[in-house]
Structure 1
Amino acid sequence: MAIPDITSATGATADIYARVKKISGGRVPNTYAALGYLVPASLAAVLDAQGTLNSGSLSRQEHETIKLLVSEKTGCDVCVAAHSFVGKLVGLPVDSLRAIRAGQPTGDARRDALVRFVSHLHSTSGTTSEDEFNAIRAAGYTDIQLAEISLTIALGIFTNTFNRINGTDVDFPPVK
């Protein structure tokens, strides 16, 4: 879908674009531009949920680890590029970003437990076993953080699916 020039947006779309610009340094990524154009309330919900997560107990690196892994597994090239870029900005080493995408160890035990847990959730169905919960809890994750992990996964899957349906153009540096 072609996204109209964001400077010509009016009403709810213009309002949500202004909100995105305020939190992203003046830029409106293509995913947000398309979603804001089509359903401004959905983009507002995404931003509200992300704001809730940002004030939670998971670090930005943990959020980007989850989003990058889910994006890779879902096959969203836009989000893989975005979360690789943002992952670097929040301090994830390039080697770790590659390992996360491949589902391989990063050398950080807590991050690796998170990758294993999210991979398990993404690739299985049904109730998660007590062994899986014990492993993620042994890595230091609390029940509150498990809820935050769930919301981070859900937001990732939403934007991944939207981009795949929309055919959103990648507007972040390519991933090597």
Structure 2
Amino acid sequence: MSRIAIPALSDATGNTADVYARVRKIAGGDVPNLFAALGHLAPATLSAALDAEGALASSSLSKQDLETIKLLVSELTGCDYCVAAHAMLGKMAGLSPVALKQIRNGQPTGDSKRDALIRFVRTLQTTRGTIDEDELAAIRAADYSDTQLADVSLAIAMTIFTNTFNRINDTDVDFPAVE
């Protein structure tokens, strides 16, 4: 059970009701538990997060790239909520169940560009300081532009934000279980 009690969504008023309406529009009528908690506690924060996610949706990265990043970061962070969410969203973006498992387990997917992205994101998440010049050269050699690297940075940052909040809240997972 989530640590933060959330009143019934139908009882929301003001900015919270407004941001829930925005989430419903984006999510097809549902308000996932993560967004319910954030909207209740900090509607402006949730609104800013939705704005950032909107920027990512129209960024230079494909949906598969975004879900690869989000799933990998969530796995490395240990956020069961986001792992479940991004496994489902990754499947909806066209990643196979096998690829999703390989991403989570740090195994090659057989797609050299995706594998370069996984290596780069893993390096960013598991090392400290400025990354090695060879790592930057490798991701560029995989045909990722500097603009895409800026978008990778935002995807990582947004995922760490939601991972952190879910780890604090122990948010009830309302996505299909991950094997």
Class of the TM-score when normalised by the shorter of the 2 chains: over 0.9
- Name structure 2 gaps, 5 residues minimum: none
Task: Tell me the CA shift for residue 115 of structure 1.
Answer: 0.4
Q: How many aligned residue pairs are there?
A: 176
Aligned to 2:168: 165
CA distance in 2 between counterparts of 1:82 and 1:28 reads 13
Shift of 1:56: 1.0
**Tell me, what secondary structure is at the counterpart of 2:60?**
coil
Out of 105, 128, 135, which is 2:138 matched to? Answer: 135
Map of 1:152 onto structure 2: 155
- Provide the residue aligned with 1:119 in structure 2: 122
Task: Tell me by how many angstroms 1:55 deviates.
Answer: 1.0
Which one of the candidate residues 106, 111, 116 is aligned to 1:108?
111
Could you report, residue by residue, the CA deviation over 1:61-114 in whole angstroms, capped at 9, with x for unpaired residues?
A: 100000000000000000000000011111000000000001110111110000
1:7: how far off?
1.3
User: What CA deviation, in whole Å up to 9, does each residue of 1:126-154 have, x standing for no partner?
Assistant: 00111000000000000000000000000
Distance in 1, Cα, partners of 2:81 & 2:154: 20
Specify the alignment match of 1:67 in structure 2: 70
Amino acid at match of 2:147: I
Would you say 1:174 and 2:172 are equivalent positions?
no
Aligned to 2:98: 95
What secondary structure, in the 3-state scheme, does the structure 1 residue paired with 2:177 have? coil
TM-score by length of 2: 0.97
Name structure 1 gaps, 5 residues minimum: none
Which of 81, 85, 90 is 1:82 aligned to? 85
Choose which of 20, 25, 37 in structure 2 pairs with 1:22: 25
Amino acid at match of 1:33: A
* Residue in 2 that maps onto 1:36: 39
Q: Secondary structure at the match of 1:171?
A: coil
Letter in 2 for 1:12: N
> After TM superposition, which residue ranges in structure 1, 4 or more long, deviate above 3 angstroms?
none
Identity of aligned residues (%): 65
